[in-house]
Structure 1
Amino acid sequence: MNQTPTTILRTRGLEVGYGGRPVLSNFDFDLRPAEVLCLIGHNGAGKSTLLKTLFGLVRRQRGEVLLDDKPMNMLEPRALTAAGISLVPEGRGIFPGLTVAETMKLGLWSAGVAAEERADRLAWVMTVLPALGQFYQRRAGTLSGGQQQMVSIGRALLSRPRCLLMDEPSIGLAPKLFQDLLQPIRQLQKDSGMAILLVEQNVKEALKISDRVVVMKSGAIIREAVPEELSDNAKLMELY
């Protein structure tokens, strides 16, 4: 009898660094199915490094990454996408010279969506983010920051992930626009049971859509809490 996995992503004894300098050492972490987990901490705490490692963009030196409680021997973005993991990168990562339509076409190919399924998959993404249709034929470089972020999120959803990694999606966005972007994703998460790992500096806004919070400092987890426990600014300042 198969048991339901207790985590969707987990690290055990993870060690990651750059140029011989460790960023994460003996790092244990877990993301549970169907939750929104907010990862916060000061600049340089290792948050983005963790996301990049989980998506196979940064090589680990030691330790394990487990998917559905099973060790992943090879971490490579295409394999992880096929396994249901998708990334919204910091800085949006879109090509300014491509139209939104071209970006989505490239995204469908990159995600390995079968040709006969692409029209339906794109239609599904447009139901989640209908505002994409308002600028679908425009070049990404002519869009506002919020519109570009919507394109980045839409591209990540093309693989219909069960786990979405989001790295600083609020950069350059006003709080209301940030919430306008995240609310459809939160609704999708509730409807589909998708897990979300959200790395964010805009803590106040991120806590509004989170189920659990992990606080990092200097490559280590120093606190785990529910959002209500960190609603007081004074408590947050103590952690930073």
Structure 2
Amino acid sequence: MIPAPTMEAATTAATTAALAAHDLVAGYAGRRVLDGVSLSLAKGTVLCLIGHNGAGKSTLMRLLFGLHTPSAGHVTLDGATIRPSPAAMARAGVAYVPEGRGVFPGLTVAETFALAAWSAGLGGGEEAARTDEVLEILPVLKTVWRRRAGQLSGGQQQMVSIGRALLARPSILLLDEPSIGLAPKLFQDLLAPVRALQQARGMSILLVEQNVHEAFAVADAVAVMKSGRVIFEGVPADLADHATLMELF
């Protein structure tokens, strides 16, 4: 059973933004994708970002992690304006799980974790302790520890990708379409331990997702993007009516 969102957590964190976009404008090859996007991820909450394909959700995630540069606007982390870059965001406790998982198919799960630990500057006992911690959160990985990532199912690969991110003990986690290629039950099995960890640690999660029903079950807040803009912000209950949700797409 996926833990339900708590009103206390949402209310307490609502006044402080862990990560926020302010009037971001961006595009590719002269085509504008984001048209003045502002969005705040409150501390200690899960914000689910939804919208049609091409709305700009993944571009926003890339900007927040520093993989793409806006032509206007800025990003704040804990209220301070920053210029995101992957290295700087990782040092600040931000982890990013991209759409499509991004695992190295020729590496075993063990080798993938070792590479992530090396990248995070972990060594010796600290690497072992954090690896054990992640394997307790995602125990399925123990059963495929010596298998190559390319031989794993889609759900297992997604667990590898998320587990690799959790190894850094991030305070902010950016998850881009983790349900792609997964059955609803597998997606539940993936989200449940992540939600439990988020609640235990007060982590902030920005979740881009098309599987609205399952994502809303773990979200404290929801935002809707359309044609490069955020057109709605509220809580999942606001969009419980299917007709209301469809009007926003």
With the shorter chain as reference, the TM-score category is over 0.9
Distance in 2 separating the partners of 1:111 and 1:166:
19
Query: Aligned AA for 2:167?
Result: L
Q: Distance in 2 between matches of 1:175 and 1:231?
A: 18
1:113, distance to aligned residue in structure 2 (A):
2.5
| Alignment pair present for 1:192 and 2:240 | no
Q: How does 1:8-87 map to 2 (within 5 A)?
A: 8-72=18-82, 74-87=83-96
The percentage of counterpart residues that share the same residue type is 58
Q: After the TM superposition, which segments of 4 or more aligned residues of structure 1 sit over 3 Å from their partners?
A: none
**Alpha carbon RMSD of aligned pairs, Å?**
1.3
Structure 2 equivalent of residue 110 of structure 1:
119
In structure 2, stretches of 5+ residues that fail to align are 1-12
Distance 1:13 1:235 in 2: 26
Gap regions ≥5 residues in structure 1: none
Deviation of 1:138 after TM superposition, in Å, equals: 0.4
TM-score relative to the length of structure 2: 0.92
Residue 144 (1) aligns with residue 153 (2): yes
Question: Which segment is superposed worse, 10-19 or 183-192?
Answer: 10-19
Matching residue's letter, 1:42: H
Out of 21-30 and 157-166, give the one that drifted further: 21-30
**Count of paired positions:** 236
| Pairs within 5 Å for 1:86-97 | 86-97=95-106
State the Cα distance separating 1:25 from its structure 2 match. 2.1
Question: What residue identity is the alignment partner of 2:143?
Answer: Q
Aligned residue for 1:233? 242
- After TM superposition, the structure 1 = structure 2 runs for residues 114-125 of structure 1, keeping only pairs within 5 Å, are 114-125=123-134
Equivalent AA in structure 1 for residue 25 of structure 2? E
Question: 1:129 maps to what in 2?
Answer: 138
3-state SS of paired residue (1:52): helix
Contact 1:78–1:111 (8 Å) recurs in 2: no
Shift of 1:107: 0.9
Deviation at 1:78, TM superposition (A): 1.4
Alpha-carbon distance in structure 2 between the residues aligned to 1:115 and 1:18:
43
Q: Equivalent residue of 1:155, what SS?
A: helix
- Distance in structure 1 (CA, Å) of the matches to 2:247 and 2:184: 23
Counterpart Cα distance in 2 of 1:204 and 1:19: 35
Letter in 2 for 1:78: A
